């Protein structure tokens, strides 16, 4: 097994030129962590951040991408544009986009396909709501979300993606899944991928996201099928994000 740990920041709709510059300056004062690190930020700041982060050991990512290639899609940002300005990663299927912006499994799959076609690495998010967990639907929900993507891109293409398990009830709530709960879902997701392609399943990095902080990261990341994290709130402070990466 050669899965290198990956920790990705998701800044969501936060930041400003001044705040971002201060974040980068603080990050630069800290030692490079051993894991792979990605920073996903709002579109408007990406190009500037890409330059500011040179030599920082952080690769750049977007938080969203159009499912369309080019043309008359006012307000959309294509995968090729993200690639053009130096992005390596893009988050697709985040629950905030599914719930607040009505992104269906089909849209998430189309976005994943568009990202891959432009050479980006998608971070595909899946996760259940509290109601779904309480009615014992967790594995059915996350496996359905995953299958929708696989049906469009094929299991082999997952080799160019990362998967993120993000229980909706744990995002931004301060209530993280326990390491055992997260491991249970991660291992089920890996088994689900293995049913399509065992070699891809062994190499696939499955990140946990949902209220990861410096204080709980090490216990989560110690689980055998948790290969890193997708970090929201704790990524807004460079020191906290760095402590999660160090964990
Ligand atoms: C997220 O939105 O991807 C996330 C994990 O947020 P938080 O860490 O704030 O729960």
Pocket test for ligand 1, best of 7, 164, 175, 231 (most atoms within 8 A of CB): 231
Q: Is residue 71 part of a domain?
A: no
111-116 mean pLDDT: 98
Q: Residue 114: CB within 6 Å of ligand 1?
A: no
How many domains does one find in the chain?
A: 1
Q: Is residue 174 part of a domain?
A: yes
pTM: predicted TM-score of the whole model, two decimal places: 0.97
What digits encode the pLDDT tens for the residues 155-212?
999 999 999 999 999 999 999 999 999 999 999 999 999 999 999 999 999 999 999 9
Catalytic residues: 94, 166
Q: Is residue 220 part of a domain?
A: yes
Residue 91 Cα: closest atom of ligand 1: 3
Q: Residue 230: CB within 6 Å of ligand 1?
A: yes
- Residues with Cβ within 8 Å of 81's Cβ and at least 6 positions away in sequence, in order, are none
Atom 4 of ligand 1, nearest CA residue: 232
Q: Which domain holds residue 225?
A: 6-65+76-246
Q: Is residue 15 part of a domain?
A: yes
CATH number of the domain encompassing residue 100 = 3.20.20.70
Q: Is residue 10 part of a domain?
A: yes
């Amino acid at each position: 097994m050669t899965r290198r740990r990956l920790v990705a920041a998701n800044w969501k709709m936060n930041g400003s030129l001044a705040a971002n510059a201060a974040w980068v300056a603080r990050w630069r004062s800290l030692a490079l962590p051993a894991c792979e690190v990605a920073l996903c930020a709002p579109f408007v700041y990406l190009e500037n951040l890409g330059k500011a982060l040179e030599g920082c050991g952080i690769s750049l990512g977007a938080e969203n991408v159009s499912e369309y290639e080019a043309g008359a899609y006012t307000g959309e940002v294509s995968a090729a544009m993200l690639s053009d300005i130096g992005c390596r990663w893009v988050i697709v299927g985040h629950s905030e986009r599914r719930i607040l912006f009505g992104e269906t499994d089909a849209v998430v799959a189309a976005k994943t396909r568009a990202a891959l076609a432009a050479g980006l690495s998608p971070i595909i998010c899946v996760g259940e709501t509290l109601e779904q967990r309480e009615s014992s639907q967790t594995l059915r929900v996350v496996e359905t979300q995953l299958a929708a993507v696989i049906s469009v891109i094929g299991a082999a293409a997952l080799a160019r993606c990362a998967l993120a398990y993000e229980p909706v009830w744990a995002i931004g709530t301060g209530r993280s899944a326990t390491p055992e709960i997260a491991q249970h879902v991660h291992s089920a997701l890996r088994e689900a991928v293995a049913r399509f392609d065992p070699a891809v399943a062994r190499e696939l990095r499955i990140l946990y996201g949902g209220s990861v902080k410096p204080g709980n990261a090490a216990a989560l990341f110690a689980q055998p099928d948790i290969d890193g994290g997708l970090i929201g709130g704790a990524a807004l402070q460079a020191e906290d994000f760095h402590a999660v990466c160090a964990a």
